[in-house]
Amino acid sequence: GGTTKNDTDKKSGSAVTGKADANAETKKGLKIAFLPKQVNNPYFTIADTAGKKAVEELGSTYQEVGTSSGTDTSGQVSYVNTLTQQQVNAIAVSAQDPGALCTALKQAMKNGVSVVTYDSDTKTDCRQVFVSQASAEDLGRTQVQQLAKQIGGKGEIAILSAAQTATNQNTWIDFMKEELKKPEYKDIKLVKVAYGDDDAQKSFQQTQGLLQEYPDLKGIISPTTVGIKAAAQYLSGSKYKGKVKLTGLGTPNDMRAYVKNGTVDAFELWDPNKLGELAARTAVALQSGQITGAEGQTFKAGGMGTYTIGKDGVVSLGKPTVFDAKNIDQYKF
Amino acid sequence: MTQPEPDATPVLALEEVSKSFGAVRALRGVSLRLYAGEAHALAGENGAGKSTLIKALAGVHRPDTGTVLLDGSPVEFHGPADARDAGVAVIYQEPTLFPDLSVAENIFVGRQPTRSFGRVDHRAVKQAAADLFARLGVDLDPEQPARGLSIADQQLVEIAKALSFDARVLIMDEPTAALTGSEVSRLFGVVRTLREQGAAVLFISHRLEEIFELCQRVTTLRDGTWISSEPLAGLTEDDLVRRMVGRDLDELYPKQETETGEAALTVRRLTREGVFTDVSFEVRRGEIVGLAGLVGAGRSEVARAVFGVDRWDGGEVEVLGRKLKPGAPSLAMAAGLALVPEDRRAQGLVMDMSIERNIGLTGFAETTRAGLMNRRAERDRAVDWAVKLQVKYARLADVVGTLSGGNQQKVVLAKWLATAPQVLIVDEPTRGIDVGTKAEVHRLLSSLAAEGVAVLMISSDLPEILGMADRVLVMHEGRLAAEIPRAEATEETVMAAATGRAARGRDAA
Amino acid sequence: MTTTAEPVRSAPVSRTAGARTFIDKMFKARELAVLAVLVVMLGATQIYNGEFLSEQGIKDLLLNATILALVATGQAVVVITRNVDLSVGSVLGISAFAAGNWLNGGGSPLLAVLLAVALGALFGLLNGALVSLGKVPALVVTLGTLYIIRGIDSIWVGSRQITADALPEGFVGFGHDGIWAVPYLALLALVVLLAVGYYLRSYRSGRDLYALGSSPEAARLAGVPVRGRIMTAYLLCGALAGLAGALYLARFGNVDSATGNGYELTVVSAVVVGGVAFTGGSGSVYGAALGAVLLTSINSVLPAIGVSSVWVTAINGILLLLAIAVDRILALRVAAVLRKKAAQMRSARHD
Amino acid sequence: MTDTTTKATARRGPGGAVRWDTAVGALFVVLLLCSFSFVDNFGNALNVSFLIGNTLPIALIALPMTLLVVSGEVDLSVGSTAGLSGAVMGALWNEGMSIETIIPLCLLLGVVCGLINGLLVTRLGLPSLAVTIGTMAAYRGIAQIILGSDSVTDFPSQYLDFGAGRIGDTFIPYAALPFLVLLAIAVVVLHATPVGRSLFAIGASEEAARFAGIRVKRLKLSMFVTTGLLSALTGVFWALHYASARYDNATGLELSVIAAVLLGGIDFDGGKGTLGGAIAGVFLLGTLQNVMSLLNVSAQSQIVVTGVLLVVSVLAPRVGRQIAQSRARRKATAVPLRPPAATS
Ligand SMILES: Nc1ncnc2c1ncn2[C@@H]1O[C@H](COP(=O)(O)OP(=O)(O)OP(=O)(O)O)[C@@H](O)[C@H]1O
Ligand SMILES: Nc1ncnc2c1ncn2[C@@H]1O[C@H](COP(=O)(O)OP(=O)(O)OP(=O)(O)O)[C@@H](O)[C@H]1O
Ligand SMILES: [Mg+2]
Ligand SMILES: [Mg+2]
């Protein structure tokens, strides 16, 4: 006997109930809290600062809390609990783990707190809306297209990811593999996915290892800002500089030196400013009753235009921007 | 009581010094003067305050009141380094070596001979150490690490260290407690030379004959107070004892005649490779068997193996007909065996634990009810034995490490006697114990034997062995060299066997 | 006991002399063993993957080891005194950022390195002062300063970061260039290592550190200036962590508030693998440095022979266990051999 | 000699002054009182239940860790053992095994982990610090191999409720009840049984303990096994409490446990400390973090506060002792002569 996986009833779908009124007035004086994966992480700081600007513009108060480590799930849970205690109106959270925050977030929602996830999602029933930085499919496929162009559509490539458990990374990698199945990439061979755990030193050594194990490697995709930076730093100081192509997701500030010295031709990223702003505006819209998170609802996000909620309560920011030597100096983040 | 002292200024002196540790007043207004060219003895029972006095002289303890005078003017030593720089060399009661450093480095720590740019001259360090050992007639390798040295060897290194200072004042706290005859006489020879060259010497020993042999003057302490300072000439040992104890003493080796019963401890062909070989003997109920031998002969090792702290490689041990398993002290204890180890600080006691808990360690069976400790029973057991052995303490909850050396030894005895053993092995049971208590311990061992306990006594104090033992076993280089019945046991026969000349000795006889 | 004047000692000359040279050899062999494991491991990897020990490969190995080796050298000095400094990771992080900040503001690279060293030394001094003046357990104090310095670092740094484009060309070049396959960083680390090793072996104050760790009580009685020496050890350790911070900046060209987080465990592992005992008084900085090289090399070897990074953590742990276990078994064997020898000598004398 | 004096007085203080563990306990109570009165949202049952629930993993492991540290050893692999047990729980659950079978298996696994640590330490005589740094990596690595990037969240709801829920509307989480039982057992074992006495003796002087017939190796081994068992239990609890089994669960838990235990006055040289102190240390840190979060103190500043508290915790008794000593020295001159306390 006993309780097994098959006995548990599968609940899914988003945690959405109630009706939305797209024309409801935007409430002021709300308390909106941002809970990034990690405080002091430059990427999240950009996003959250933009969020702050938007929140204040809308006449509400902003607050940022979070753990100083990106893998301190229990810490993140207790922050959700604390925020619930403090009776904030909405939480915008980038989840370190899709499941671990669920109990706490559901408790928060029960207490009337609106929950928006951004950058990194939880399970769909633990939040109302996920603000996605770009569709996972777009991100995965465009990175392959980038690299294919750089290496001339032929040769061995590898992926340098963050932690093995990083949900968004894994989704993108799945789409990369999908994309590679297309006939135009038949000469490209994905030899390995390595994990650098978003740690500079580890990513460094993983890059070295890739190059030693596959001397004919032509290119690397690193869909993580830490990874691409470490890989670029290694390549720029080694004999592989310029010979092995590198692309992926990185911030212009991080990558400027490597684009200019020829280590990296081009890479891409969405604008984290916009991500933060959209998360903030979504949170306020939820609290104002303009949306509830159901598919098909639309809302106006200030100067960013109108957004529509997609399947599973996902709002997508749009296509990523590609940075190269020509345009990189226009971006300062 | 004070006889005229030399007119000269004392090299080092204490005036009216007091020192307390919490509630314990270890020294109360004690004065002492050390003169150039004179060896001064310090006598007193365990806990009288001798070691404390020395530490006050050496700058380890700061006196609460009173002054230390160097060449007649007050000084304040802020630490042992100050005293050393002032020309005071100290051998402390408990050897304090650096186990990881070589013997030579131990001697010269902080004072190594140097080459250019202040670099240590390793060769000179080694040579100087070798020279010192030669002077002392000791055969130690200067480059050997200090770890694993026997207590005696450690004490010799300490002595070499003190000598290496060429100090004006040489202070020695029971340097001879672990040494045998010839080492002691070598040491005395060297000390006499130093004294004749003008050094002042302060010497502590519980062996009164040593005091008389080496010193000119003696200061006696009792319970932290000054009793007398006087020349030794004209004094007898009994006078000295009376000053120390405040009364006359009983017979020193009170051997009771007992009837010996069945064999209680039987050891057959016991071997631990590289340490001892083929050791066989038995100890019967009611019997005290002495185990003699030179330092390093392996006596302690046999005792440890029998008790099970070390494993043995071959042979067997039987206690009251029960075979023991190698390496299982708890089984040995259950069979009725007890071992009072030789190194009380490392093996006998948990120095950071209270007196009560230390004594309690061997008696969980008696002091538990339904698996839980019974505080009352634990306390009673400790008090009973602490009182029986006259341990001098303030509170039972005091940390054992704060007791004087001799009192610590008594706690070890208490801890083991409390188990009511059938077979008792005592390793150097009276090392560092004052004459009064020594007699007490001897009486205790005697009466235990009279009650039918089998006692195996290891001792480097030959008179003690000869005085107490019904039979003397002698070890030489890891083997049992001779078994000598009480009637034939003399210093000559035992030493002959111990130095491996037994056969020749007999031939000659 | 004044009666006998026999030659009391039973000729112990042979007891010690024969055994000693053997012990001496074995002692050195502890470090040799680490070295041997290292050589075998690298050799085997080279056979498997010809690219491994190419010029670039060797350079990478040396570069990887440099920073850890430096910090491990400092840590070994502290551990030899029977203390420990858990704050090295935090110190490394904050000095790296300080140096980066200085360079970012247009400062000269040399001064940046000096600044990092000075800052590290300052924190070392703080640790040393807390440990020696307060006479409190180093483990607690430095766990405390680990948190404090990390906290100050993250408050100061915030979400800022120093990236490669903020650093002068020459400084970044210094981070990966070298003479043939030997990077400048590794040369620098080697010089520091040899200097510290020589200091420990050949200066009184260096020997004092061993004495202190071997028995603090005896050191006090022997008049060793205990406080001063402990301060020296922490100062050195802090300064080396600071230097390592500057080199980290040069090598990775990237520093943020998380730099050096959790580094203390790696450092402690290196020191342990290198045979420096936590009970103080034994081991050498060379051992610690070798331990560092071994640990970082494992992390290069595994990817190079294509082991999935999923396995790396587990293999790392098991190798660490193997290293210390083999070392221990070796030591036990030696002790047994010594005992046998002693026995043979004794029975020889009996015959 | 003087060294032993200072050590001896460290716990008791001269003239029976306040012991450190009592001080930590008092500090904890004061903090609680202040928080109840001055911190918004602190006092309500939900928050207190959060506080207890989040502190429980640390408290659970602190129990055996205290005993282990008292005996002079340490186990740094506790976080990894917890992670491994969670990972195995997740993997087996995905395989469709019943949770009632899985949990005992996980606990058994914890026993094995502890046994490995213990055997390496007691049989080979390796330092526990080194061994458990090694197994810390090894166990975590194995967890990673077993569960990979999965994150298992769909455990049965009655178990999840037990892990995260509280009794009615009170502040007591369900999981606090078994903890209280374990706490009581640990207190009795350490402070009122021969085992506890022996652990203190082993920690203070292993050799002397061996000479007193205490079965040092066996005791140490059983302590490692207990630590492994409770770490695995913590791993199971963690997975249920956070409704998530991942290979990196409970990462860094060992440092939190050690910091708390140190704060509670447990001496890492062994032989000293009380469980009361350790648990007070655990909840003092937990409460402090909760309060600081409620007061919007940033994570960075919280780290600094934790660090300062640790440093102060070791410095304060020391400074107090020095003050008391110098006062005693001044007094000593004035005290009249009194015969020393002797026995007979
Ligand atoms: N560090 C200390 N803390 C507390 N009490 C101490 C300390 N050192 C010594 N005492 C106490 O001071 C008294 C004198 O001790 P001391 O060691 O000077 O005796 P002793 O004359 O050397 O005895 P023994 O002959 O046994 O060595 C004893 O009662 C002892 O318990
Ligand atoms: N840990 C050890 N490792 C190797 N040899 C040892 C060790 N301990 C003791 N020995 C050697 O074993 C022999 C006997 O030891 P020990 O000196 O204890 O004998 P003993 O007869 O009891 O002498 P003592 O008079 O010192 O008590 C000596 O040669 C000693 O050097
Ligand atoms: Mg004494
Ligand atoms: Mg002996």
CA distance D210 to chain B (A): 7
CB-CB neighbors (< 8 A) of D136 in chain C = 265, 317
Q: B119 contacts in C (CB within 8 Å)?
A: 202-203
CB pairs under 8 A between A and C: 103
Q: Supply the pLDDT for residue B28.
A: 92
Name the residue facing C6 among B101, B213, B499 (closest C-beta). B499
The tokens for B104 are 């030579």
- Answer yes or no: is the C-beta of B301 below 6 A from any ligand 2 atom: yes
Mutate to test the pocket of ligand 2, among B300, B460, B476 (most ligand atoms within 8 A of CB): B300
Whether residue B460 has its Cβ less than 6 Å from ligand 2: yes
Distance of CA C348 to the CA centre of its chain: 44
Choose, out of D61, D153, D253, the residue to mutate when testing the contact with A (most A CBs < 10 Å).
Answer: D153
- The answer to whether the CB of A276 falls within 8 A of the CB of A49 is yes
- Residue B254 clears pLDDT 80, i.e. is over it: no
Q: What is the pLDDT of residue C338?
A: 67
Is the per-residue pLDDT at C118 higher than 60? yes
Domain ranges of chain C: 17-350
What are the tens digits of pLDDT across the range C155-199? 998 888 888 888 888 888 888 888 888 899 999 999 999 999 999
| Mean pLDDT taken over chain D | 86
User: Could you say which ligand is closest to the alpha carbon of residue B432?
Assistant: 1
What percentage of chain C exceeds 70 in pLDDT? Answer: 87
Shortest distance between the Cα of A51 and any Cα of chain D, in A, equals 18
* Cα B174 from Cα B185, distance rounded (Å): 14
Per-residue model confidence (pLDDT) at position D339: 38
pLDDT tens-place string over residues B264-285: 999 999 999 878 999 999 999 9
Closest alpha carbon to D212 in B173, B306, B350? B350
C151/D300 Cβ within 8 A: yes
CA dist C24 and A125 (Å) reads: 68
Least confident residue range of B501-505, D8-12, D181-185 = D8-12
Is residue C1's pLDDT more than 60? no
pLDDT band at C35 (very low <50, low <70, confident <90, very high): confident
- pLDDT the model gives residue B383: 93
The 3-state DSSP class for residue A116 equals strand
Q: Are the beta carbons of B346 and D208 separated by less than 8 Å? A: yes
Q: What is the pLDDT of residue B52?
A: 92
Under 8 Å between Cβ of B382 and B393: no
ipTM exceeds 0.95:
no
- At D11 the pLDDT is 41
Instruction: Return the pLDDT at B443.
Output: 87
Q: How far is the CA of B351 from the centre of ligand 4 (A)?
A: 20
**CA nearest to A99, candidates A70, A128, A129, A120:** A120
* pLDDT for res D138: 94
Across the range B17-43, mean pLDDT stands at 90
Interface contact flag, C143 D302, Cβ < 8 Å: no
Residue C8 clears pLDDT 50, i.e. is over it: no
pLDDT for residue C23: 53
Most confident of A157-171, C230-244, D281-295: C230-244
Report yes or no: C216 at the D interface, CB cutoff 8 Å.
Answer: yes
Reported as a pLDDT band with limits 50, 70 and 90, residue B305 is very high
List chain C residues with CB under 8 Å of A253: 163, 165
Q: What topology is assigned to C17-350 in CATH?
A: ABC transporter involved in vitamin B12 uptake, BtuC (1.10.3470)
Confidence of residue B345 (pLDDT cuts 50, 70, 90): confident
Whether the pLDDT of residue A5 is over 80: the answer is no
pLDDT tier for residue B478 given thresholds of 50, 70 and 90: confident
Q: Residue B229, SS3?
A: strand
Residue D330: pLDDT band with limits 50, 70, 90: low
Q: Which residues of D touch C154 (CB under 8 A)?
A: 299-300, 303
CB contact under 8 A, A233 and C64: no
> Quick one: pLDDT at residue B248?
65
Q: What is the pLDDT of residues D48-106, one digit of tens each?
A: 988 998 899 999 999 999 999 999 999 999 999 999 999 999 999 999 999 999 999 99
Given a cut of 70, whether residue D257 has pLDDT beyond it is yes
Q: What's the half-sphere exposure (Cβ side, CA atoms, 13 Å) at B53?
A: 36
Residue C22 has pLDDT above 70, yes or no: no
Query: 10 Å Cβ neighbour count for B446?
Result: 19
Q: Which residues of A touch D247 (CB under 8 A)?
A: 164-165
Per-residue model confidence as pLDDT tens digits over A51-95: 999 999 999 999 999 888 777 888 888 899 889 888 899 999 999
Among the listed residues B363, B360, B398, the one whose alpha carbon sits nearest the alpha carbon of residue B379: B360
Give the tens place of pLDDT for each residue, A21-60.
Answer: 777 788 889 999 999 988 888 888 889 999 999 999 999 9
The residue with greater pLDDT, B206 or B245, is B206
Is beta strand A188-195 parallel, antiparallel or unpaired with respect to A155-161?
parallel
Q: Where are the alpha helices (DSSP H) in B5-86?
A: 50-57, 80-85
Burial B313-339 (b: 16+ CB within 10 A, else e): eebebbbbeeebebebbebbbebbbbb
How much is the pLDDT for B335?
93
C6 pLDDT band, cuts 50/70/90, is: very low
Write the single-letter amino acid at B316: E
**Residue C85: its pLDDT value, please?**
94
Mind listing the pLDDT tens digit for each residue in B379-422? 999 999 998 888 888 888 889 988 888 889 889 999 999 999 99
Listed by start position, the domains of chain D span: 3-331
Return the residue of D nearest to B361 by Cα: D212
- The Cα–Cα gap between B410 and B407 comes to 5
- Point out the least confidently predicted range of B224-238, B436-450, C18-32, D203-217: C18-32
pLDDT value for A53 = 94
Residue B16 pLDDT:
92
Q: Which of B67-76, B441-450, C132-141 has the lowest mean pLDDT?
A: C132-141
Rounded CA-CA distance D70/D64 in Å is 10
Angle value at C-alpha A107, between A101 and A108, nearest 5 degrees: 85
Separation of alpha carbons D175 and D54, rounded Å? 11
**pLDDT tier for residue C212 given thresholds of 50, 70 and 90:** very high
* Whole-number average pLDDT of chain B: 87
Sheet holding A155-161, edge to edge: A188-195, A155-161, A217-222, A245-248
Chains with at least 3 CB pairs less than 8 angstroms from chain D: A, B, C
Q: What does the alpha-carbon distance between residue D157 and residue D138 come to, in Å, rounded to a whole number? A: 32
Tell me if C339 and B275 make a contact (CB, 8 A cut-off): yes
Mean pLDDT, chain C, rounded, equals: 84
Is a pLDDT exceeding 70 seen at residue D333?
no
Q: Whose CA is nearest to atom 22 of ligand 2?
A: B300
Contact assessment for residue B77 and residue B59, using Cβ atoms and an 8 Å cutoff? yes
Ramachandran category for residue B204: left, alpha or beta (phi over 0 → left; psi -120 to 50 → alpha): beta
Percent of chain C clearing pLDDT 90 (strictly above):
42
CATH of D3-331, one of 3.90.1200, 1.10.3470, 3.30.450, 1.10.10: 1.10.3470
Ligand 2 in reach of B455 Cβ (< 6 A): no
Interface contact flag, A102 D153, Cβ < 8 Å: yes
Alpha-carbon span A139 to C65, nearest angstrom: 36
pLDDT category at C7 given cuts 50, 70, 90 is very low
By CB atoms closer than 10 A (0-12, 13-18, 19+), residue A166 is: buried
| pLDDT-wise least confident of B200-204, D2-6, D135-139 | D2-6
Q: What does the pLDDT look like over A97-125, one tens digit per residue?
A: 888 888 889 989 988 999 999 988 888 88
